[in-house]
Amino acid sequence: MSIRFAPAIFCGALLLYLNIVLTNLVSLRQLRYIESLPNGTKFEPLHDTLFIDWVKGYNIDQYVSLALRDMVDVCTYSWVLLTILAWWTCSRKALLPAKVLVIQMIIIPVFSISQLLTVVPDSMPNCITVYEIPTDKDTSWIFWKWPNRACGNMLWSSDLAQLIIFTSLAVQMISSSSSARWFVWVVGECWTFLTMIFIFSSRYQYSMDVFITILVVKLLVSHPWVEIIATHWFIKKGNYYARAPTTEMPSL
C-alpha cells in the first residue's frame, strides 16, 4: 500500500487553512462576548475547582503563566516531531499518516464549531490584549492572521488531542508481539501526563476541558471507521491485476 499524495496534500492544506480561519473566529467570538458585557462588569474566568481549590493557583504571575504555557507547546511539538521522525526512519506505513489526517479532519471542525456555539470565558481575563487579537471593526484578519494562540479556546485541549493522536501513531508503528510496544505506550502516557501538569499549573485550560478531550480523542483514535475512511480516501489499492487472484496450472 502507498499513500495517495494528491488528495492527502489537498485535504491537508485545506484543513490547515480551515483551522486558521476557525481559530480566529473563536477569538472574534470571545471578543464579541467581552464587548457585550454591561459597563462596569469585569471579565472573569470560570471557577475551576481543581485549579482554584486544590492547586491554589490564582496568584500566578502572568509571565510565569505564559512561560508554563510555552512549555505545553514544547511538550506537544517535540513529541509530534519525534513521532514523525520515527515513522519516517523506521516504519513508513502509509495507513498511519492517513489515519492521522482523517482524525484531524474530524476533530478540528468539531472542536472549533462547538466553541463557536458555546462561548466559555477564557482562563486568562486579558487574553485579547495578551494574544494581540485585533479589536477594530474590520474582521478580514480572520482569513489571513496566523493565530499564535486563540482567545476563548476553552472547550477542548488541542495540545492533548495531538499528543493522544501521535502516541497512538507511535504505538501502532510497533508490532503487537513486541515488548517495545508497551514501553512506547508508557512513555507517551507519561509525556501526556507531564503536559497536563503544565496545563493545570499555568491555568491554560479548565480541568473539564482536559478530561473530556482525553476521553473523546482516545475513543476516536480507536474507532474502526477511521481506518476504513483512511483506506478508502488516501490509500492506493495497487494495480488491478496485482490484486486479482491467479490460478496456476498443476505441474505434470
Residue 152 and residue 127 in contact, taking contact as beta carbons nearer than 8 Å: yes
Give the rounded percent of residues in the chain with a pLDDT score beyond 90: 47
Q: What is the mean pLDDT of residues 92-107?
A: 93
| Euclidean distance between CA atoms 106 and 154, whole angstroms | 18
Q: What is the phi/psi pair of residue 59, to 5°?
A: -110, 25
pLDDT of residue 54: 66
Instruction: Out of 29-43, 141-155, 157-171, 233-247, pick the least confident.
Output: 233-247
Which three cell numbers mark 140? Answer: 478580514
What pTM value is reported for the model? Answer: 0.85
